[in-house]
A and B are shown apart, each in its own frame.
Chain A
Amino acid sequence: MASPASVAAPAALLRLEGVEQFYGQKIRILGPIDLEMREAEFLSLVGPSGCGKSTLLRIVAGVLTPTVGTVRMGGRPLKDVNTRAAMVFQSFALFPWLKVVDNVAVGLESRGLPPRERLKKAQKYIDLVGLSGYERAYPRELSRGMKQLVGLARALAVEPELLCMDEPFSALDVLTARTMRELVLDLWASPVVMTKSILLVTHSIEEAVAMSDRVVVLKANPGRIADEVDLRGLPRPRRPDLPQVRETVDRMYALLA
């Protein structure tokens, strides 16, 4: 197990301190969890279903308040919805009655941006994810992959410090998922996109290894951190057939077994 001290950096963007989630009064489904995330880090949470990884992500996004413990964002404890984070959902969670451009602008609207700036910024991110020309379409007219692109643009448009992604590729077919992974990595590396810290929840070890700087492995009943693996030494791009990548994936399967 890699010691946290060896990877500690001065600027912690996110910090979870003794976070626990209960179901009802007695049943603890998650925690206690202590976790730190650095600025500009790509961190993945993997684990079997029921290990509470999605719950943990929702706690970080501030849509769920933990029963016990504190979430700190840039040092300050989180009290409400985490406005410095934005979320991408497994089922896309687009508003079916809003056009693509209005879906992307939803977060900007609630932040009180005037209409013209809203439109400009929404357009920028629609272009960035490659959906130019589909601004006036409704979600139902799009393929699943395109829907998730809208979800990604919507999250990036509020220019969050932290991007939370909850199994974003698992509702997509294999080919689309691969293209989307590459797009996310490209955007992460691109100077045009402000967001540099990404927290990804996935059940796919291959996905976590292909994308992240660090992987936190969770185990179930209750969900706790079982292990974590530093992948900064693994060179990018990480094609799945590279021996180094395959060896890492195998090692992580062994960890989970």
Chain B
Amino acid sequence: MASRRPASYSVDLGLIFLIGAVVVGLHLGRSSLRPYDAPELDPRPALLPLYLLYSLARLAVAYLLAVGLALVTGQLAARSPFARRLILPTLDVLQSVPILGFFPLAVGFFIGIFHGSALGVEMAAVFLIFTSMFWNLAFGVYESLITLPEELALAAGQFGLRGSLRWTRLILPAVVPSLLYNSLVSWANGWYFLIASEIIAVGPARYTLPGLGSYLAQAVTVGRNHETVLALGVLIATTVGMHLLLWGPLQIWAERFHFEESGDRPRTPRMARVLGRSRLVRWLTRTVVAPAGQEAIAAAGKLLGMWGASGWWGGAFALLLPASLLVAVFKLYGLFVSRPASPELAGIPVDLLLSLVRVALGVVVSAAVSIPLAWALARSTRVRGAAMAVIQILASIPATAFFPLIVILLRWGIGMNAAAVLLALTTMFWYVLFNVAGAAYAIPKQMDEAALGLGLRGRRYLRRVFVPAVLPSLITGCVTAWGAGWNAMILCEYLEAGRRVYQVRGIGATLDRATYVTGDMQVVAASLASMVLLIILVNRSVWDPVYRRVAERYKMEA
């Protein structure tokens, strides 16, 4: 195709970005190539904006990487049956792995490559944040591509859309809604892991990257209340601000990429509907976000079109994922045959069981609270939009922000067991609530009317209509919460606050101790492997069959 292309801002933007990246890289490189000597962070509040900027940059880089890779992987899995057979199971295993636990291994790897320089630590942090953002994006891309209306895909083929044009006209627009929805989840995850990823400890060695997360963590650990509150304020203001000024306008813009909704109610309540009434948000959408979005689609399409031109890359990439998994398993094996078994290994089964009870409790409580809450939300037609917006913003506050609160509760003596479950709930609960509320809103109006006509009210309505209607989504939410719960265990069973260690017996605590205190890689590997095995086992033997049965019986067919 030798046609003249119209001038495009995306190329200029790309160039500016490249130049900027080189400048920043040179600047960082100068300070980074020395061996890294974990300094304490300067606690002056005036530096907070700078720290915030550092953290945002890490999140943004990780996010762009995650989106790019998700597009490539998701598209590949949707297009080629061969790639699908490799990619989907790998993603499935990797996403059920508690990422936090793998962090020490990744840090070791990157710091090794970069000979202990700050660049290695920086890469390790970005990598951790990336892994927290990637899986749901990739699944989202895959799912929206396989559910693409068949005739639309045919039409794209028949009218000759290939390469870049296929990306910009068909694939990218089709995945925008799911990408955006999942971006909210990914960023929430990213903020959550930021705290963990800016202070990196491997055994006795400790590396601190300047950032909001490390600032907050340091303030909590040392017990400086004033700074803790300040950092929390900045964190909350940033997440809320991003919702209002970035995600909101993006969602309004993305309305046009939705396939037509059948039925007389919007399928999901979108924060966009509420935000869309704001003049500022509408202006932002029109003048900044929409043009930028279009440019992004055009630029990404060009890049991805080039990538897609050689199928070889796709095949290589599809092989890379499971291959790296194999290498990891092999390394683990080597770790165990090379040394005598550590005595701590014997305690792992009991640790696992204790943590399992905590996670299960978290799932049950989340479900028990979500159902009546979603019912109340769905019934109140007047406040539902506003209420959902408030809830979404609340949910975007990373659970780690609740750390200090929990510490206060601990000082009052609620006990570490309750504190750990409570802290885990701050992440688990939202997954269940969002899924259930979404399904509750989607109950067809006609079904409500029919129920009313038949005299189903109150508890009978709840039992005969509401619960069956939200059941598939409830299960989906529970599965996600279950996964998040294990991650939370790593964070919650072992806390350092005000120069004191609070801990409770469990697999998370064992893993943390092995990582931060003893540096015993055998225990790290064994607790991780056993955790992953348990998670996968329960997913396969409990969640999968339950979900399949529920989805079959209670699917809403319009």
- Contacting residues, chain A, for B158 (C-beta < 8 A): 61-63, 81-82, 85-87
Give 23 CB contacts A-B under 8 Å: A63-B154, A81-B157, A81-B160, A87-B155, A87-B158, A89-B151, A91-B149, A93-B154, A94-B152, A95-B152, A96-B257, A96-B259, A97-B173, A97-B257, A98-B169, A109-B165, A109-B169, A110-B162, A111-B160, A112-B3, A113-B3, A140-B260, A158-B159
- Interface size of A by CB at 8 A reads 33
Which residues of B are in contact with A by a Cβ distance under 8 Å?
A: 1-4, 6, 149, 151-152, 154-155, 157-162, 165, 169-170, 173, 176, 256-260
Q: Which of A53-110 contact B (CB under 8 A)?
A: 58, 61-63, 81-83, 85-87, 89-98, 106-107, 109-110
A237 within 8 A of B: no
A115 within 8 A of B: yes
Which residues of A are in contact with B by a Cβ distance under 8 Å?
A: 58, 61-63, 81-83, 85-87, 89-98, 106-107, 109-115, 138, 140, 154, 158
**Residue of A91, A93, A95, A110 touching B160 (CB-CB under 8 A):** A110
- Contacting residues, chain B, for A81 (C-beta < 8 A): 157-158, 160
Contact status A91-B151, CB under 8 Å:
yes
Measured between alpha carbons, how far is A109 from B156 in the docked complex, in Å?
12
Closest chain B residue, CB of each to CB of A98: B169
- Contacting residues, chain B, for A62 (C-beta < 8 A): 158
Task: Count A-B pairs with CB separation below 8 Å.
Answer: 68
- Contacting residues, chain B, for A89 (C-beta < 8 A): 151, 154-155
Contact status A93-B155, CB under 8 Å:
yes
- Contacting residues, chain A, for B162 (C-beta < 8 A): 110
Measured between alpha carbons, how far is A115 from B3 in the docked complex, in Å?
9
- Contacting residues, chain B, for A106 (C-beta < 8 A): 159, 161, 169
- Contacting residues, chain A, for B257 (C-beta < 8 A): 96-97
Closest chain A residue, CB of each to CB of B176: A97
- Contacting residues, chain B, for A93 (C-beta < 8 A): 149, 151-152, 154-155
**Residue of A61, A86, A95, A109 touching B173 (CB-CB under 8 A):** A95
Measured between alpha carbons, how far is A94 from B161 in the docked complex, in Å?
13
Contact status B159-A86, CB under 8 Å:
yes
**Residue of B151, B170, B173 touching A90 (CB-CB under 8 A):** B151
- Contacting residues, chain B, for A98 (C-beta < 8 A): 169
How distant is B8 from chain A, measured CB to nearest CB, in Å? 12
The interface residues of chain A, by DSSP majority, are classed as loop
Closest chain B residue, CB of each to CB of A151: B155
Contact status B3-A95, CB under 8 Å:
no
Measured between alpha carbons, how far is A95 from B170 in the docked complex, in Å?
8
Measured between alpha carbons, how far is A98 from B173 in the docked complex, in Å?
9
How distant is A175 from chain B, measured CB to nearest CB, in Å? 22
Measured between alpha carbons, how far is A4 from B1 in the docked complex, in Å?
42
- Contacting residues, chain B, for A90 (C-beta < 8 A): 151
- Contacting residues, chain B, for A96 (C-beta < 8 A): 256-260
User: Which residue, B151, B158, B256, has most C-beta atoms of chain A within 10 A?
Assistant: B158
Provided the pairs A93-B149, A96-B259 are in contact, do residues A112 and B155 lie with their beta carbons within 8 angstroms? no
Closest chain A residue, CB of each to CB of B172: A97
**Extra 11 A-B pairs, beta carbons < 8 Å, given A62-B158, A94-B152:** A82-B158, A86-B158, A87-B155, A90-B151, A95-B169, A95-B173, A96-B257, A97-B173, A106-B169, A110-B161, A138-B256
Measured between alpha carbons, how far is A140 from B257 in the docked complex, in Å?
11
Measured between alpha carbons, how far is A90 from B155 in the docked complex, in Å?
11
Contact status B165-A110, CB under 8 Å:
yes
10 smallest A-B Cβ distances: which pairs?
A: A110-B160, A93-B155, A107-B159, A93-B151, A97-B173, A112-B1, A89-B151, A112-B3, A93-B152, A87-B158
- Contacting residues, chain A, for B3 (C-beta < 8 A): 112-114
Provided the pairs A89-B151, A91-B149 are in contact, do residues A107 and B160 lie with their beta carbons within 8 angstroms? yes
Contact status A115-B160, CB under 8 Å:
no
Measured between alpha carbons, how far is A10 from B160 in the docked complex, in Å?
30
Closest chain B residue, CB of each to CB of A139: B260
Closest chain A residue, CB of each to CB of B2: A112
Measured between alpha carbons, how far is A173 from B514 in the docked complex, in Å?
70
How distant is A257 from chain B, measured CB to nearest CB, in Å? 31
How distant is B368 from chain A, measured CB to nearest CB, in Å? 39
How distant is B189 from chain A, measured CB to nearest CB, in Å? 28
- Contacting residues, chain B, for A107 (C-beta < 8 A): 159-160
Provided the pairs A91-B149, A96-B257, A115-B6 are in contact, do residues A110 and B159 lie with their beta carbons within 8 angstroms? yes
- Contacting residues, chain A, for B161 (C-beta < 8 A): 106, 110
Measured between alpha carbons, how far is A71 from B258 in the docked complex, in Å?
37
User: Which residue, A91, A96, A112, has most C-beta atoms of chain B within 10 A?
Assistant: A96
How distant is A114 from chain B, measured CB to nearest CB, in Å? 5
User: Which residue, A87, A97, A109, A113, has most C-beta atoms of chain B within 10 A?
Assistant: A97
Measured between alpha carbons, how far is A58 from B150 in the docked complex, in Å?
12
- Contacting residues, chain A, for B260 (C-beta < 8 A): 96, 140
Closest chain A residue, CB of each to CB of B157: A63
